[in-house]
Amino acid sequence: MKAPIDWLKDYVDINVSPKEFADAMTMSGSKVEGIEVQGEDITKVVVGKILTIEKHPDADKLQVTKVDVGSEVIQIVTGAQNISVGDYIPVALVGSTLPGDKKISKGKLRGIESYGMMCSIEELGLTSEDYPDAPEDGIYILPKEEELGKDIKEVFGLNHKVIEFEITSNRPDCLSIIGLAREAAVTLKTEFKKPVIDLKEEGDDAAQYISVEVKDTELCPRFAARVVKDVKIGPSPKWMRDRLKAAGVRPINNIVDITNYVMLEYGQPMHAYDIKDIKGNKIVVRRAHEGETIKTLDDQDREIDSSMLVIADEERAIGVAGVMGGANSEIKEDTSTIVFEAANFNGTSVRLTAKKLGMRTEASGRFEKGLDAENVEAAINRAVELVEELGIGTVCKGLIDCYAKKKEPRTINLRVEKINDFLGTNIPKEEMIGILKALEFKVDENNMTVKVPSFREDVEREADIAEEIARFYGYNNIEATLLSGKAATLGRKTHKQIIEDLIKETMIACGLSEAFTYSFTSPKVFDKLNLPMDSELRKAIVISNPLGEDYSIMRTTTIPDMLGVISTNYNRRIEEARLFEMSRVYIPQSLPLNELPHEKPVLTLGMYGKLDFYDLKGVAEELFARLGIKDYEISPEKDNAIFHPGRTASLSIDGEYAGIIGEIHPDVAEKFECPERTYIGVIEIEVLVKKASMKCQYTALPKFPAVTRDIAMLVKDEVMVKQIEDVIKQRAGKILESIKLFDVYKGKQVSEGMKSVAYSITFRASDRTLTDEDVGKAMTKILDGLKRNLGAELR
């Protein structure tokens, strides 16, 4: 809401600077977005009169002029062709400034000196929309004689200081000059000059001209009309046009301008009809018929339906209630008798109608917040008062007012102590009452109750009263306290949160950096991932109003997003990246969704560069170790279409699936523009949380020496080291301490299809020094087992 300060001053004394006023209003709840000083960037631009025009001796397209600017006559060289001697024009003098940081200085054009510039409407930062008489390309010729040397800002009415307020949705009453003036008065502790309307009503009885019937009082609780005859349509006076422009509204003609002026001043949208277009001289407020159409003021044909309220005459709709008037009854140059409408419409209905028609207007934006039906009368009276003031018509006697049911004002208890307890303040009763009275609440000091004014629909209960008091007491005067004397609570994280933190720490310690990616994605990713058509992952939740197809489903897998991140980095020629993300995937129980999905937290790993599968596996193993998870298995996974069939493993903990790690299938890597060797892991956080064990018990350090034996064996290529280790563990007996793989070799001296595998095996007993015999026996059993089970040959 843009409020010119001089307009506010009609209703309140503003005794501080615009900046101080803006700050004070912000701190009492009417947030100021900005202070606009109109024409701030225009200086030293004055009215001039062209005395002579001569052709430039050396340039066909230039003219040399002499211009009287009041104090002197100056020479200006111009390229403009639309000027003639005697024209009054805006002149930017030497040293002047224009919008867009333009400065005018003395110049020489083709050898002839020029002491200023004549301005077009655009050069003054105005638009030809406001000045339809301005030529498309040329100097603006002032429409009438003006005092020479007069500041052009005065000529254009560019001297308003305008405060732009951000009004919250609960305060439609503040979308008006009067509402803001009321707030300003309480804020500045000055007087609110409540308007008093004085009408002459010199015409005959309005009821002779028009009758009103409201058929749906639910959607239209109040409809008021007034008639004005002998109307002289023309431009409204300059002061009114200036104020409208300063408030951001384009002036049209005096009657339309009055409706807009009253809307801005009172916050009540209004409309004016040409009475000769109202068939049967009767206004009917009804729901639209199915299939009905109306051409609105913006010249669009609209289809309306029975959910919408229309203003109609006996035959047809002449306006969409609360949204826009109809073209069929608009004010025209020859209009002579008009009907003003000020009405109260159901906010929700207006909102839905405007939404359905795709036309949110200034009026609908106000109605949808819920306006005060009481305000209708004051607003329509103000409109006709302005008609009388401007002398542009004769106001007929009587207000035609269909007011179905006046709302009883709300009564709320005022418990001073309770409010102070709630705010943590010690505000005296008198101060509370003072604030409320200034806000036009009626306070019954005997019963300590307040009656809420009709324009404050937002005030429903004591907490709202507390806010009113706190706003003007000053939020920042409330003493800061720290829940002293309240029950102590223990701040802590849950087991799940602790484990999640540990996972994150471990990833960082393993050299992975944390990524954040979007949780919605494109349905196209499933094909790019090579997923079969019946894959469960394809069953994703669809967003009904997405930002676009790329963001239209909730992800069921994080792999495409991690691949996207890798691709971004790889395409920026970054050699290596190691990343992780902890986020959710959204698994519907059924589709279409009728209960909330399972939001499954997953840990996603992604890496490429100078690294391989074992770097990724190392991260998983480090994580299990950190979380105290011992019983895990990492076994080959050949059947996941996203991954390389020979370089992928699934993870399980105590037999429960815990994730997958591996190299991305080259087809997938290619589609996502990732390097061929891209490694991805997805680990189920819920399983980690369930299996993690933070129990830690100390084991005594060994007292007796260990014995280490190295063995190397030849086995078939397809034998996996895990099989060898299983045999060793199984056969070595209790004295086995650890086994360590130290060499795997294929090539020279090892026949085709075989590999050499070498281990260090360490034995130790906790109660004695092992003998050669102890160790020998164990080794024999191990070798025996390896030979029998795996066909291993000792080297």
Restricted to residues 572-631, the positions that interact with other proteins (CB under 8 A) are 572, 574, 577-580, 584, 586, 592-593, 596-597, 599
497 binds other proteins (CB under 8 A): yes
CB of 477 or CB of 749, closer to other proteins: 477
Contacts of 204 (CB under 8 A, 6+ apart): 396, 397
**Which among 288, 457, 273, 271 is positioned nearest to 363, based on CA atoms?**
271
The torsion angles phi and psi of 737, rounded to 5 degrees, stand at -100, -50
Give the three-class secondary structure for 681: strand
Stretch that binds other proteins, among 155-163, 323-331, 504-512, 706-714 (CB under 8 A): 504-512
Candidates 466, 525, 783, 790; binder of other proteins (CB under 8 A) is 466
For residue 441, count CB atoms less than 10 angstroms from its CB and return exposed for 0-12, middle for 13-18, buried for 19 or more. buried
Measured from the CB atom, is 196 or 482 closer to other proteins?
482
Closest CA to 684 of 709, 661, 713: 661
CB of 499 to other proteins, least distance (A): 13
Q: How far is the CB of 593 from other proteins (least distance, A)?
A: 6
- DSSP string for 107-173: EEETTEEE-EEE--TGGGT--TTT-TTS-SSSPPPPSS---TT-BHHHHHT---EEEEEE--TT-GG
Q: Is 513 in the site for other proteins (CB under 8 A)?
A: yes
Q: Smallest distance from the beta carbon of 437 to other proteins, in angstroms?
A: 19
Figure out which of the listed residues 132, 291, 391, 485 binds other proteins, where binding follows CB under 8 A: 485
C-alpha closest to that of 470 among 413, 426, 410, 409: 426
For other proteins, the binding residues in 17-46 under the rule CB under 8 A are 26-29, 31
Could you say which residues in the range 70-109 bind other proteins, by CB under 8 A? none
Nearest approach in angstroms of CB 132 to other proteins is: 35
Binders in 518-577 for other proteins, by CB under 8 A: 518-520, 541-547, 551, 554, 565, 568-569, 572, 574, 577
**Considering the rule CB under 8 A, would residue 481 count as an interface residue with other proteins?**
yes
- The CB-of-513 to other proteins minimum distance in angstroms stands at 4
Residue 785 burial (CB count, 10 A): 18
44, 150, 410, 504: which one contacts other proteins (CB under 8 A)?
A: 504
392: left (phi over 0), alpha (psi -120 to 50) or beta: alpha
* Distances from the Cα of 104 to the Cα of 15, 58, 119, 257, 359, angstroms: 37, 23, 11, 37, 44
**CB of 145 or CB of 305, closer to other proteins:** 305
| Among the listed residues 164, 431, 464, 725, the single contact to other proteins using CB under 8 A | 464
Is 230 marked as a binding-site residue? no
| Chain position carrying tokens 């129980």 | 589
Label residue 333 exposed, middle or buried (CB < 10 Å: 0-12, 13-18, 19+). Answer: exposed
Asked if residue 42 lies in contact with residue 99, where contact means CB atoms within 8 angstroms, the answer is yes
Site for other proteins in 291-350 (CB under 8 A): 347-348
Comparison of 65 and 425: residue with beta carbon closer to other proteins: 425
* Distance from C-alpha of 212 to C-alpha of 222, rounded to nearest angstrom: 11
Q: Does position 454 bind other proteins by CB under 8 A? A: no
Shortest distance, position 501 Cβ to other proteins, whole Å:
8
If the CB atoms of residues 87 and 468 are measured against other proteins, the closer one turns out to be 468
When binding is defined by CB under 8 A, the residue of 489, 590, 693, 749 that contacts other proteins is 489
* 467 assigned binding-site residue: yes
Window 111-170: residues binding other proteins (CB under 8 A): 168-170
Residues 6+ apart with CB under 8 A from 544: none
Beta bridge partners of 272: 340
Among 19, 202, 445, 475, binds other proteins (CB under 8 A): 475
CA 388 – CA 199 distance, rounded (Å): 8
Total binding residues toward other proteins, as defined by CB under 8 A: 88
The nearest distance, CB 563 to other proteins, in angstroms, is 12
Q: Are 756 and 743 in contact (CB under 8 A)?
A: yes
Is 351 within 8 Å of 273 (Cβ atoms)? no
Nearest-approach distance from CB 429 to other proteins, in angstroms: 18
**Between 365 and 645, CB nearer to other proteins:** 365
In the complex with other proteins, which residue's Cβ is closer, 445 or 460?
Answer: 460
Which residues neighbour 570 within 8 Å (Cβ) at sequence distance 6 or greater?
Answer: 577, 608, 673, 674, 675
- Is residue 243 at the binding interface for other proteins, with CB under 8 A as the rule? no
Residue 401, annotated ligand binder? no
Three-class secondary structure of residue 700 per DSSP: coil
How crowded is residue 247: how many other Cβ atoms within 10 Å of its Cβ? Answer: 21
**Looking only at residues 48 through 67 of this chain, which bind other proteins when binding is defined by CB under 8 A?**
none
| Virtual torsion, Cα 552, 557, 560, 563, nearest 10 deg | 150
Among 325, 321, 339, smallest CA distance to 380 is for 339
- Tell me: is residue 468 an annotated ligand-binding position: yes
User: Among 51, 508, 744, 794, which residue sits at the site for other proteins (rule: CB under 8 A)?
Assistant: 508
3-state secondary structure of 51: strand
Site stretch for other proteins (CB under 8 A), options 61-69, 387-395, 493-501, 529-537? 493-501
Return the residue of 467, 615, 621, 622 that touches other proteins, per CB under 8 A: 467
For 778, half-sphere exposure in the C-beta direction (CA atoms, 13 angstrom radius) is: 24
424 binds other proteins (CB under 8 A): yes
For other proteins, the closer CB: 514 or 743: 514
- Shortest separation between residue 613's beta carbon and other proteins, angstroms: 19
Residue reference for tokens 């001297």? 159
Which positions from 382 to 421 touch other proteins by CB under 8 A, shown as an x/- string? ---------------------------------------x
* Token pair listed for 647: 């370089």
Residue 4 or 322: which CB sits closer to other proteins? 322
Q: How far apart are CA 595 and CA 588, in angstroms?
A: 8
Provide the minimum distance between the beta carbon of 320 and other proteins in the complex, in angstroms, as a whole number. Answer: 18
84/594 with CB nearer other proteins: 594
Dihedral angle, C-alpha 482, 487, 488, 492, nearest 10 °: -100
Our CB check for other proteins shows the closer of 13 and 458 to be 458
Residue with Cβ nearer other proteins (496 or 781):
496
Q: Report d(CA 663, CA 614) in Å as an integer.
A: 10
Shortest distance, CB of residue 175 to other proteins, whole angstroms? 12
Q: Does 686 bind other proteins (CB under 8 A)?
A: no
- Lay out the site mask for other proteins across 248-267 (x = CB under 8 A, - = otherwise): --------------------
Give the footprint of other proteins on residues 350-389 (CB under 8 A).
Answer: 351-352, 368-369
Query: How far apart, in whole angstroms, are the C-alpha atoms of residue 42 and residue 90?
Result: 11
Q: How far is the CB of 527 from other proteins (least distance, A)?
A: 23
Interface residue with other proteins among 60, 144, 301, 482 (CB under 8 A) is 482
Contact 1, 167 (CB under 8 A): yes
Single residue of 492, 695, 734, 748 touching other proteins by CB under 8 A: 492
CB atoms within 10 A of CB 534: 7
CB of 782 to other proteins, least distance (A): 35
AA identity, residue 223: F
Q: Extract the runs of DSSP E, i.e. beta strands, from 665-706.
A: 678-684
Contact string 159-188 vs other proteins (x = CB under 8 A): ---------xxxx-----------------
Calpha distance 686→556 (Å, rounded): 16
DSSP state of 460: -
Residues in binding site? 458, 464, 467-468
Residues in binding site for Mg(2+)? 458, 464, 467-468
